[in-house]
Amino acid sequence: MAYKLIGKNFMPHDVRAKVTGAAKYAEDFRADGMVFAKMLLSPMPHARVRNLDISAAAALPGVVGILTADDLPPGQAPGQPALTNEPVFVGDPILAVIAESETIAADAIERIRIEYEPLPFTIDPLESLYPGGPNAIDVGNVGNLAFQPTTIKWTARDFAAASDGQLPQGQPAREWSYGDLDAKFGEAKLVLDESFVTAGMPHNSMEPRSCMAYWEGGKCFVYGSIQSQSFAAPPLARMLGIELKDLVFISENCGGGFGSKGSAYPLMMIPAYAARKVSRPVMLRVSRAEEYFLGYSRHGFQGRIKLGFAENGRILAADIYIVQENGPYAGFPDWTGAAEAVSLVYQPESMRWRGIPVFANTPPKSAQRGPGQNQIAVALEPLMDKAAKSLGIDRVALRRLNAPDNDGAIGENREPLTSAYLKEALDIGKREFDWDNRIQRSGQRRGSKVTGIGVGQAFHPAGSNGFDGLVCITPDGKLHIHTGIGNLGTYSHSGTSRVAAEILGYDWDNCVVERGDSRKNLPWNLGQFGSNTSYTMTRTNYVAATDALNKLKEIAAMDLGGSPDDYDIADEKVVARADNSKSMTYAQAAQRAIELGGKFDGHEVAEDLNPMTAASVAAIAGTGLIGAAKDNLPQHGLVPALAAGFMEIELDIETGKYEIKDYVGVADCGTVIHPQGLDTQIKGGAIMGIGQAGLERHVYDPQNGLPANVGLYQVKPPSYMDMPTNMRSAWVDQPDRQNPVGTKGIGEPVMGCAAGALLSAISDALGGHYFNRVPVTPDQIVNAAAGREQSHKPLQTNCV
């Protein structure tokens, strides 16, 4: 279908302000009488606070208050508190000093005396699973967002039964399976059984999670750094102990979140409760180091993958065990997401998954771009190379053979998919990258430099449904598209809003995107996470615009005669099909809607709208022609985003360094709504994937639980100097079958496919040496090339 706006590039309205610096982020806001909060962070990985003496701090001139855990509603483990008397990681906030300036607050913190009772701690799940091993938190050693904490210890026999470097497989917390695993392994020509480690890593959002809050007229005003808008408001109101109507939530810009700011997080309670305590606006500016201490990170895995391949390369059986380093709090279900990913990307004929999330005294974990899917991509993709080599099958061909198509399925219950074009993505990438010729260069040596060619693929669920859309045509003829999605930096707030403009045939210059502030009367939308925005919010904008379109036609029929079906739209007018002299501008229709009232101007709304949306409609009722609807479009099956990446590197075996010579990323994201945004996602995601595969990881001293990486130069996200200048992007551009405009998300797998491609290329350059670990850093490559043992033990985590 030929679209006017969908598939075309545009300049999002907030770009200029971001470039000039005029865009306001949480810490740019000020309020009269504003004071500052600074946190005191735990120096110990697990302890109980004894004898807290704040007297000297409180007496310091300029200190206006001190907020402790006792000022906040009590939490329940493993839920994360904002402040705690029992810190469970180094950097867990214990209290906050509120003062006239940040310098005074920092001076006051130095005057606080705390006696700590040290408690057992661990940074290694396997240590905690060992009989008699330490528990990271008091209520058990195993737990996750998915279930309540419990205690599971494996037996010493479980550990002894595993050979050196092999993951022991004791009692799991959860498991599922389908098919006859044993029989399928029995049929297999090749069986691989490998243990692996993937590192936890921070999100590296450019904007730390600063927050400002004040109370006025019985309402709490919160200026936060969050990826999402509407979806974050109800949990934030709950955290503050107020009704949603008493929350004013401003989240106009967010300097990156990558999953760590998906919804409201407990730290936001600090300025709000402090503001109530001292009756002044309070700003909490979070430093870069603090962001590393407490700003969330990706779950690390210790795992084991057993795969059975038929002679032709088909995966007959997959047996996956994942031990998830859960951090000290609820975390995220990466361990289950990883299993779903295997069941989809490789379509194994039979599969078993077992998993156990184990608490550790490391920073809290949250979703991070491809949570679970991208860890399993970097663990499993190298095994595909190993199998291809062993079976004598081309590496792309092996992946293509196992890749899902529209008839593919996911998970234990083999649920259907809305669309899947991974085979096509591999085909396009193979062509764009010139795989067949490039592969001839694999292993070519130039002095100490060796060429490596790699391929990788990844997946993430990419869409949801059932949320609301809201548009309003005002008597000046403008279309106001109210969107409750956030602004994490992908510009999908506008990309998806353009669907409403498309349906109504609007000139984009006559559209206004209303967003970023709960006072702008926003609809109930999903959060901006999980690669879902493109799919979910094109549906909501589609149904809202369709509602408005129907009302435009009804009004025209009422005023100009005939039935609504007799009318069409053109140039922001409703025009009779048979007689184009019979027409009415949108501006006139909007004025008529106000006169007509009822459903036309929002005085009556559909009963199935979410209360948030209904309240927003009520607030703008009478201002124009309103389109408001819940997305009740059919939805059956899971929406997969899929991606393939192809990479050539030149690896110097004397230094362990490599240069990325070329990269091609290919997306299966349905109909493309914003090519420039997609191109940026594919390339930006690749950069993050290259960091995951080659550079970034959490490191702790196991003796004291101290984190080694608390600065940008220590964490080492990739820089421009580590990236090729000629990265390329491509896409399948086949419409999804269950989205009205054919689109679906993409943000997450474009990271994992690049990470997989880099690992694939490194192993290729090293003639088939597999590290079974990410990141693969230069020291490991130097050791491998020199034929030396690695410094770390095979299953060691959070180390180097």
> At closest approach, how far in Å is the CB of 706 from other proteins?
7
Question: Phi, psi (5° rounding) for residue 573?
Answer: -135, 150
User: Which residue in this structure is represented by tokens 């450019």?
Assistant: 206
SS3 assignment, position 500: helix
Q: Does 792 bind other proteins (CB under 8 A)?
A: yes
CB of 796 to other proteins, least distance (A): 10
Tell which positions 53-92 bind other proteins, by CB under 8 A. Answer: 90-91
Torsion, CA 617, CA 621, CA 624, CA 626, rounded to 10: 30
Backbone angles phi, psi at 556, to 5 degrees: -60, -45
**800 near other proteins, rule: CB under 8 A:** yes
CA–CA dist 380, 444 (Å, integer)? 26
Q: Which segment (255-263, 501-509, 675-683, 720-728) binds other proteins by CB under 8 A?
A: 720-728
Interacting residue with other proteins among 5, 39, 49, 439 (CB under 8 A) = 39
Q: Which of 390, 719, 726, 767 binds other proteins (CB under 8 A)?
A: 719
Sole binder of other proteins in the list 100, 102, 246, 559 (CB under 8 A) = 102
Calpha distance 211→282 (Å, rounded): 8
User: From the CB of 655, what's the least distance to other proteins, in Å?
Assistant: 5
Instruction: Based on the shown chain and the rule CB under 8 A, indicate whether residue 574 belongs to the binding site for other proteins.
Output: no
- Please tell me the distance from the alpha carbon of residue 318 to that of residue 339, in angstroms, as a whole number: 10
Contact 313, 389 (CB under 8 A): no
Exactly one of 570, 655, 726, 767 binds other proteins (CB under 8 A); that residue is 655
Please work out the total of residues on this chain that contact other proteins, with binding judged by CB under 8 A: 59
- DSSP letter string, 605-624: --TTS-HHHHHHHHHHTTSS
Q: How far is the CB of 25 from other proteins (least distance, A)?
A: 16
Tokens matching residue 710: 């608390």
E strand or H helix that includes residue 378: helix 373-391
Q: Which contiguous run of DSSP H or E holds residue 40? A: strand 35-41
CB of 44 to other proteins, least distance (A): 9
Q: How distant is the alpha carbon of residue 488 from its chain centre?
A: 10
Q: In a 10 Å sphere around its CB, with 0-12 CB exposed, 13-18 middle and 19+ buried, how is residue 323 labelled?
A: buried
Q: How far is the CB of 712 from other proteins (least distance, A)?
A: 8
Q: Is 661 in the site for other proteins (CB under 8 A)?
A: no
Q: Which CB atom, from 562 or from 717, has the smaller least distance to other proteins?
A: 717
- Binding other proteins (rule: CB under 8 A), the pick from 708, 734, 737, 740 is 708
183/206 with CB nearer other proteins:
206
Q: Report helix, strand or coil for 585.
A: strand
Instruction: Considering only residues 104 through 143, tell me which ones interact with other proteins, judged by CB under 8 A.
Output: 105-107, 109-110
| Number of CB atoms found within 10 A of residue 70's CB | 10
Decide: is 799 part of the binding site for other proteins (CB under 8 A): yes
- Going edge to edge, which strands form the sheet with 468-473? 511-514, 479-482, 468-473, 625-630
Backbone φ and ψ of 650, nearest 5°: -120, 115
Query: Does 726 sit near other proteins (CB under 8 A)?
Result: no
Q: According to CB under 8 A, which one of 14, 25, 42, 319 is a site residue for other proteins? A: 42
DSSP per-residue letters across 309-333: E-TTS-EEEEEEEEEEE--SS----
- Binding track over 421-450 against other proteins, x by CB under 8 A: ---------------------------x--
Residues ≥6 apart with Cβ < 8 Å to 143: 78, 149, 150, 326, 330, 357, 359
Pick the closer one to other proteins by CB: 241 or 717: 717
Instruction: Say how many C-beta atoms besides its own lie within 10 A of residue 356's C-beta.
Output: 26
Rounded to a whole number of angstroms, the minimum distance from the CB of residue 117 to other proteins is 16
Closest CA to 282 of 99, 470, 28, 423: 99
Query: For other proteins, which residue of 135, 141, 760, 777 counts as binding (CB under 8 A)?
Result: 777
d(CA 285, CA 36): 8
Sequence length of the chain is 800
Q: Interface with other proteins includes 246 (CB under 8 A)?
A: no
Segment 386-425, which members bind other proteins (CB under 8 A)?
none
- Judged by beta carbon, residue 95 or residue 272, the one nearer other proteins is 95
Site for other proteins contains 699 (CB under 8 A): yes
Closest by CA to 683, choosing from 652, 638, 728, is: 728
* Of 24, 588, 783, 794, the one binding other proteins by CB under 8 A: 783
In 653-694, where do the E strands start and end? 657-668
- Cβ neighbours, 10 Å, residue 476: 11
Q: Is 712 in the site for other proteins (CB under 8 A)?
A: yes
Query: Measured from the CB of residue 279, what is the shortest distance to other proteins in angstroms?
Result: 23
Q: Is 350 in the site for other proteins (CB under 8 A)?
A: no
From the CB of 95, what's the least distance to other proteins, in Å? 11
Closest approach of other proteins to the CB of residue 755, in Å: 16
Shortest Å distance, C-beta 61 to other proteins: 14
Q: Which member of 58, 615, 633, 706 binds other proteins (CB under 8 A)?
A: 706
- Chosen residue from 41, 330, 358, 584 binding other proteins by CB under 8 A: 41
Q: Which is nearer to other proteins, 91 or 370 (CB)?
A: 91
Strand order from edge to edge, sheet including 573-576: 567-570, 573-576, 583-585
Cβ proximity to other proteins: between 398 and 799 the closer is: 799
- Coil vs helix vs strand at 548: helix
Listed ranges 269-277, 540-548, 707-715, 730-738: which one lies at the site for other proteins (CB under 8 A): 707-715
* CA 725 to chain CA mean position, Å: 26
Q: Which of 370, 463, 718, 724 binds other proteins (CB under 8 A)?
A: 718
Q: How far apart are CA 475 and CA 616, in angstroms?
A: 19
Among the listed ranges 576-584, 595-603, 654-662, 729-737, the one in contact with other proteins (CB under 8 A) is 654-662
Q: Which of 28, 432, 559, 701 binds other proteins (CB under 8 A)?
A: 701
Structure tokens at 612: 């948030």
Name the minimum Å distance from CB 784 to other proteins. 10
Measured between its terminal Cα atoms, the distance across the chain in Å is 52
Neighbours of 283 (CB within 10 A): 24
Residues 252-291 contacting other proteins, CB under 8 A? 287-290
Binds other proteins (CB under 8 A): choice among 8, 13, 603, 657:
657
Residues near other proteins (CB under 8 A) are 38-43, 90-91, 102-103, 105-107, 109-110, 287-290, 293, 448, 654-657, 695, 699-704, 706, 708-714, 716, 718-722, 777-780, 782-783, 785-786, 788, 791-792, 799-800
